[in-house]
Amino acid sequence: MYEYSLEVDASGLNCPLPLLRLKKALMEAQSGDVIKITATDPAAHLDIGVYVNQTGHQLLELTRQANIQVFFIRKK
């Protein structure tokens, strides 16, 4: 578990809304801030993973419990 500056609850939202919520949070965050995002969309790890890789942010951790995914992402 990481300390985080912003938390995004995208539970119950389907693609592309979890990614859009993450993008909005990243716009508000400062460089080095950690964002926690919780999603229930089964494809969220694909969308968020590709986005993080393409934009240079850092995926610190991804955990899955049942149908809940929790991401910790550090803004570049």
Number of domains composing the chain: 1
How far, in Å, are 26, 33, 37, 38, 46 from residue 43 at the CA level?
Answer: 20, 24, 14, 13, 5
Check pLDDT > 90 for residue 59.
yes
**In CATH, what number is assigned to the domain containing residue 60?**
3.30.110.40
* CA angle (16, 41, 69) in 5-degree steps: 120
Domain range for 13: 6-74
Per DSSP, what are the bridge partners of residue 74? 34, 58
Q: Taking a C-beta distance cutoff of 8 angstroms, is the pair 44, 15 a contact?
A: yes
Check pLDDT > 90 for residue 65.
yes
When pLDDT is averaged across residues 57-68 and rounded to a whole number, the result is 96
pLDDT-based confidence at residue 8 (cuts at 50, 70, 90):
very high
65 within a domain of the structure (yes/no): yes
28 within a domain of the structure (yes/no): yes
1 within a domain of the structure (yes/no): no
Q: What is the pTM of this model?
A: 0.94
Per DSSP, what are the bridge partners of residue 39? 10, 69
When pLDDT is averaged across residues 10-27 and rounded to a whole number, the result is 97
pLDDT at 5: 96
Report the catalytic residues. Answer: 15
- Residues 76, 63: Cα–Cα separation, whole Å: 21
Check pLDDT > 90 for residue 1.
no
